[in-house]
Structure 1
Amino acid sequence: MSVGPADAPFVIAHVSDLHFGAHAPAAADALVDDVAAVAPGLVVVTGDCTMRARDRQFAQARALLDRLPAPRLVVTGNHDVPLLRPGRLLAPYAGYRAWIDADLDPRLDLPHVRALGLQSMPRWRWKGGRVTRRQSALVAAYLGAAPAGAIRLLALHHPPSAGGPARIVGRAQLLRALAAAHVDLVLAGHTHVPASHRLLDPATGHGPVEVVAGTATSRRLRGAPRSWNVIRVDAGHVHVEQRYEAGGAWRSGRTVTHER
């Protein structure tokens, strides 16, 4: 079913970088009600559910996720892999699989949306990400086959636009796949600084809107307050509203509109 001019916009709640184990409890408690208040058709969580991938932290994250509206799409982040423990080499995603989702590249097909999540954190990198050829092929095949008019959404922890140590290995092939599949939205986190812009493939000049969420509940701030995004998609536009937290209360911030 398409999202047409006569239809209400499809609402996506985009939350990231919860960092349980280094979180602000008041922000976490208030987040659930704030997300529920916008009545999202989909909640996307783009990684770093925990601070150090410990069972207690995964349990706290799981408890919060279960309170958020369904359906939900969640992906791994670099903090969801053990840092300096043997598990990083032997079973880096065991905790995440046990507590959050056994599928590291989850798929979700809804009446208005086809969504795909990618595991962008290889065990051999510390901060930067990687998207494999197999994953880029999955983007092209799965999202490219979405029904006409459906919102085509990719979620991963590392922003494809990031440079420096956070740069994604395999970025060029991912951009080609996004353009070929006519993806509308790429949702990411990792930087703790909210942003949105067009993500273009240099070869074609086409590409989706990339939306980066700040940290929703972490105490580790990087020049921006805790935040999450309300994304409203209609037939021709993507509206990105930033929600900011102060003292355990959430308020509306800037809204940016992109052509779809």
Structure 2
Amino acid sequence: MTAAGPVVVAHLSDLHLGAHDRRAVESIAEDVARARPDLTVVTGDSTMRARTGEFRRARALLAELPVPLLTVTGNHDLPLTSWRRVLRPYDRYRTWMDPDLDPDRKVLGLTALGLQSMPRWRWKNGRVSARQAARVIRVLGGAPDGDLRLLALHHPPLATGTARILGRDRLLDAIRAARVDLVLAGHTHVPDVRVPVPGGPVFVVAGTSVSRRTRRDIPCSWSLVSVHRGEVVVRERYLREGRWHTGRVVTVPSVQ
């Protein structure tokens, strides 16, 4: 069964708890809740250095956000330099965030899948395996007709150059094969919306939602995505002078 009205997704990323803006942390959950999202997605870097105290703070913030909730790892969610990076890189994330590194969620009118794009043996940039690409096809390609098909991961699949993720081509092939409508990512701390192929998937990158690690004079931000009858509207919510407001609004006429 498909949703009768818009499917609304709250997209947060790069919380970096441990290097956070207190005003953003204290106010973002209320701002997100006002949007009444069908799904809240957090695309990685929930902590600054994957310390237990930071994960505890992240868990407390996530507990205030509207459910259902889908989270994935980012490069900062793995220990930076310790034996844990080699032997137990995801243990703290699994304990505090989600035991499933490639989680899926199904709500009315929406099938969503998250991918763990940060292998322990890479320093910063991501990778998507053949197994994960096959999971995209299986989970999202098998979604009911009429469902919005959403993929979430930390690293932007369209990044090029040194930021290009390993397995990029097979991931993009899987996105096309599964007829994915919406791809959510983070990592850059700069909000972005792209449609590389007319009628194809909409790629949305969220900024840094509650951290002090902002870039290009863009304040803390999160993205509110609404999809109805093929039209995608992305409203970027910015924190200025302690209050959230809508900044840039991007409308994509139709998805595939």
Instruction: Pick the TM interval, shorter chain.
Output: over 0.9
2:158 to 153, 158, 161: 161
2:16 to 19, 26, 36: 19
Give the 3-state SS of the residue equivalent to 2:28 in structure 1. helix
Aligned counterpart, 1:215 = 208
Report if the CA contact (8 A) 1:179-1:206 is conserved: no
Offset at residue 206 of structure 1 (A): 6.8
Report if the CA contact (8 A) 1:175-1:207 is conserved: no
1:97 to 94, 103, 125: 94
Offset at residue 168 of structure 1 (A): 0.7
Q: Does structure 1 residue 234 correspond to structure 2 residue 228?
A: yes
Aligned counterpart, 1:194 = 191
Offset at residue 153 of structure 1 (A): 0.3
Structure 1 segments unaligned to the other structure (5+ residues): none
Aligned counterpart, 1:251 = 245
For 2:212, give the aligned amino acid: R
Report if the CA contact (8 A) 2:38-2:107 is conserved: no
1:25 & 1:51 partners in 2: Cα distance? Answer: 14
For 1:241, give the aligned amino acid: R
For 2:2, give the aligned amino acid: S
Count of residues in Structure 1 that have an aligned counterpart in Structure 2: 253
Q: Does structure 1 residue 64 correspond to structure 2 residue 61?
A: yes
Offset at residue 63 of structure 1 (A): 0.1
For 1:143, give the aligned amino acid: L
Percent identical across equivalent pairs?
57
For 1:229, give the aligned amino acid: S
For 1:99, give the aligned amino acid: W
2:246 & 2:69 partners in 1: Cα distance? Answer: 22
Give the 3-state SS of the residue equivalent to 1:67 in structure 2. coil
For 1:2, give the aligned amino acid: T
2:97 & 2:26 partners in 1: Cα distance? Answer: 19
2:161 & 2:84 partners in 1: Cα distance? Answer: 27
For 1:13, give the aligned amino acid: A
Aligned counterpart, 1:54 = 51
Structure 2 segments unaligned to the other structure (5+ residues): none
Report if the CA contact (8 A) 1:178-1:207 is conserved: no
TM-score (norm 1): 0.95
What per-residue deviation string (whole Å, max 9, x for no partner) do you get for residues 25-69 of structure 1?
111111011000111110000000000000000000000000000
Query: Aligned ranges for residues 148-187 of structure 1 at < 5 Å?
Result: 148-187=145-184
Give the 3-state SS of the residue equivalent to 2:187 in structure 1. strand
1:236 & 1:92 partners in 2: Cα distance? Answer: 39
Give the 3-state SS of the residue equivalent to 1:191 in structure 2. coil
Q: What is the aligned-residue RMSD (CA, Å)? A: 1.1
Offset at residue 199 of structure 1 (A): 4.1
TM-score (norm 2): 0.96
1:116 & 1:58 partners in 2: Cα distance? Answer: 22
1:165 & 1:67 partners in 2: Cα distance? Answer: 36
